[in-house]
Structures are given as structure tokens and as C-alpha cells.
Amino acid sequence: MPPVSPQGSRGGLITAVVIFTIGFVTSTIFAIYYGAALSEAQNARAQAEKKGHEVYQSVDNARFKDLLEDAKKDRNLREPTVLAASMKETDDLAVAVVGYAPTTHPSAAVVAAINDAVQKVQTALPDVPPGDPGLIGVLSSVSKYAQNKAAEAANAKQKQEDAAKDFTAQLARLTDEFNGAKKAADEANTSLKAAMDQSAKVTQDRDAQITQLNQDNDKSRAALIDQLKAADVKYAALQQKHDESNRQLDMIRAKLANIRPPVEDAIVRHPDGVLTEIGINGIVYINLGRHDHMMEGLTFQVYDKREGIPKLAAGLSPDNMPAGEGSIEVQQIEETYSQCRIVKLQPGQHFHQGDLIKNLIYDPNIKYKFFVYGNFDLVNVNRPGLSDVDRDRDKIKALITQWGGQVQDETKEEPNLNTDFVVMGTEPVVKDYTAEELQDQLKKAERDTQVQAQKAYENIREKARTLSIPVMNQSRFLYFIGYFEKFTQ
């Protein structure tokens, strides 16, 4: 990971380097320039010495005499000569370079060379004051400029060092953070590798379990297929037997159709008599008397003579009941007629002379056989089988026997070819029990009893259908014998 350098530190470092480079280049330029100026001054000095020797050798005036006297007095000269004194004076002038013209001037060449050098320094250094500052002023300005540049360079160097320290500290901090992050990443990689290894192991175990389950399923599927094939063979055999049984049943039904009379037309829809007179105070008269085996208490359902007696229809259905115009009950029996009271007159209906009367049980010549099965509710509590099963069923049987019919014993027999009608109570209901409730042995036994009762009920109904025996529920039976209203009064 490359080191991160703050923007401020990098900018400061670049600025310091640029300033240092400019100062260094400037100092180099001044050094070269002053070296050239010094070289020119030295050449001028040499020329001045040469000219001084010439002057000294050819001119004899008071000025040279004064120089000679001065030279003799000056103990610092190596030789007391006019040339030495003149050269010293020239050197002093070249070094001091005052701003005024002394009484005695150095040679014109030296002064010109010095002035030229000063002018060049002023041009190169804009900070040198204008005018004639003299060599000392120039050198002072150069020194001051050099000091400023050195201070700037030192300041830039210090900033560079500070920036380097900050950079080093930040680099160390970033290095520590990087090492910490690397350590955390290594730990995370270790945990991830362990998790991946665990996941791979779990996946491997799961794949092995799936493979084993697939193998077991394949074996189970193969066994089930074999069982299914065997069941198909058995089913085909049973289906063949069933088809044969149906064929034989159809043959039996065809024979029965030729043997048995059409029960619905011959019995159900055939009237027993008619209303001969409509009396007053709820009294009517019928054309049946003592010689027709009438009995008091016998009831009839009355039907409109124009519409006739309805068909049996769907015997177990609660719809389309054969209510007719109403019902009557025999009160007084004469030789050829009987007086009856009106038990029930349906709303909007009226009895008319010639209306038909019907009681399915009554027949002066034939005893019809009835098969009575199931739970009945003659007290209309809408809870069949819970009020008194034996009493209600026995009441139905008693009516049949009393009015000339014959009851088959349902405990010993099933509907057979001799049965004329099957009267069935309410269909048993199998309650819905939860799995928890079925854990109770009493609940389980209760449910088993309900299931058995329902199967027995279905068996009786199917047996009657197979033998083409008319089947009716409690209400339809009571309507057809004119006794329905007596239980609902």
C-alpha cells in the first residue's frame, strides 16, 4: 500500500524546494557575476600599477612627493615608495568606494571599472538603493539579500523537515492502521475459511443424506410400483367381476320389471276414494264405509281431482312434499260412507266434491309390506334418535300394522323382493373429531359407532335401489298417509 501524503505537506515541500532552487541559482549567478567583477578590478589594478610605474618614472611633481612622504610614514607598507602608497590608496578606494570625490582620485580606469561593477550590481539587485551607494552599500545589499535568501532557505528547510516529520508520523499511523486492518483481515479470513470448511462439510453430509434418501426412495418407489401393478391386476379382476355382477343385476332388474307391478303408478298414485260432500264446521264425507274396512282414526291426504296424486319423486329429498290440499281423519263410519273431520287445510286451498283421497298403507284387499329403518323424530324436536328412538320407530310400525300394512323385522331381514316400500329415518351423521379427541377411547368408540351406522344406512338404501323398491323419508311417508299434520299440531 503506497504512503499517503497530505496535500498541505506536499505543497509546502514543493514550495520550499522551488524557493531553495531559486535562491541557489540566484546565489550562483551573483557569485559568477562578482567573480567577473573582481577579475576586472584585479585587471584594472594591474593596469593602474603599470601606469603608476610609468607616471612615477616620467613625472616628478608635488603629488608624487606627497605620496612618497606618506609612504615613508606608513609603517604598514612593505616598501616606502610612491607606487606602494598609490597602490594602497587605490586599494582603499576600491574597498571603501565612498560617495564623494576625494581631493586625490584613483586612476580613471580603476574608478571606471568600479563604477561599472556597481552599476551592474544595481541592475542585478533591484533591492540596492538608487544613486551611488558605493561598494560598501552594494556589498551590504548583497549580504542582506543573501541573508534573506538564506533565512528563507532555512525557513523552507525547517518547513520541509516539519512536513517530513508530519508525513513520517502520518505514515507511521497509517502503517499501524494498515497493520491492524491486515490483522483483522487475516482473522476474518481465518474465520471465513473455518466457516467455509464447516459449510463444505455440512453440504457434503447433506449431499450424502440426499443420495441415501434418493436411493431409499427409488427402492420404495420400485416396491410401490410392484404393489401397484399387483393391485391393478386385482382391480382388473374385481372390475371384471363387478361388470359381470352389474350385467347379472341388470338382467334381474329386467326380470323384476316384468314381474313387479309399477308401484308408483299402481299404488302410490292410485286414489283410495273421493270426497262426496263438503259439510259445515270442518266436516266432509268420503265414499268409503264399513264394507271397505274403514276404521276410526284413519287419516287421508286430500288432492285436487284435476291434478291427481303426485309421484313419489326423490323419496329421501326434503323438497316437493306431496302436501296436497290438506288432510282429514275418519270419525264416524257408516255402511257405505264415512264422516271425517278436517285436520289441516293448506293455506289458499279449498276442498271440493270429487277431490281424491290417499293413504299409502290402506288397501281393503292387499297388505303392503314396509321395511322401516333408522331414527325418527315424530315429536318434531329436530334431534332424531335422541328423543326416543324405539318409541318413534315403533309408532311408525304401529300405524302401518293398525291400518292394514305389514312390517318386516329390520333386525333380521333386509329389503327383499317381497318388500313394497322402504321407510327410512334421518341419515346418520359422522361428527368431525380432532386428532386429540380421537385419543380418547370413548370418543373413538363413538365415532366408530357413527361410521358403522352410516355404512348400514347406505347399505339399506343401496339394497332398495338395486331391487327397485320405492324409498321415502319420514315426512314424505307421513304426507302420503295423511298423518303429517297430526304430528305438527
How many domains are there within the chain?
Answer: 2
Please check whether residues 151 and 280 belong to one and the same domain.
no
CA distance 125 to 145: 8
Please check whether residues 269 and 151 belong to one and the same domain.
no
CA distance 187 to 197: 15
Please check whether residues 314 and 449 belong to one and the same domain.
yes
Please check whether residues 303 and 447 belong to one and the same domain.
yes
Please check whether residues 477 and 328 belong to one and the same domain.
yes
Please check whether residues 299 and 441 belong to one and the same domain.
yes
Has residue 306 been placed in a domain?
Answer: yes
Has residue 232 been placed in a domain?
Answer: no
Most confident by average pLDDT, 66-80, 123-137, 307-321: 307-321
Has residue 248 been placed in a domain?
Answer: no
Q: Which pLDDT band, with edges at 50, 70 and 90, does 105 fall under?
A: very low
Q: What angle do CA 287, 293, 299 make, to 5 degrees?
A: 65
Q: Which of 134, 160, 186 is the last residue of a domain?
A: 160
Has residue 196 been placed in a domain?
Answer: no
Q: Which of 145, 160, 175 is the last residue of a domain?
A: 160
Please check whether residues 308 and 454 belong to one and the same domain.
yes
Has residue 439 been placed in a domain?
Answer: yes
φ, ψ at 309 (rounded to 5°): -85, 130
Has residue 206 been placed in a domain?
Answer: no
Q: What is the pTM of this model?
A: 0.47
Mean pLDDT of 282-305: 95
User: Amino acid identity, residue 152?
Assistant: E
pLDDT tens per residue across span 49-74 = 666 555 444 445 666 667 667 666 76
Domain ranges, residue 347: 264-488
User: Amino acid identity, residue 460?
Assistant: I
Q: Which pLDDT band, with edges at 50, 70 and 90, does 100 fall under?
A: very low
Q: Are 352 and 303 in contact (CB under 8 A)?
A: no
Q: Which of 132, 160, 188 is the last residue of a domain?
A: 160
Has residue 184 been placed in a domain?
Answer: no
User: Amino acid identity, residue 231?
Assistant: A
Please check whether residues 156 and 273 belong to one and the same domain.
no
pLDDT more than 70, % of the chain: 66
For residue 101, pLDDT over 50 is answered with no
Has residue 329 been placed in a domain?
Answer: yes
Please check whether residues 297 and 444 belong to one and the same domain.
yes
Please check whether residues 143 and 283 belong to one and the same domain.
no
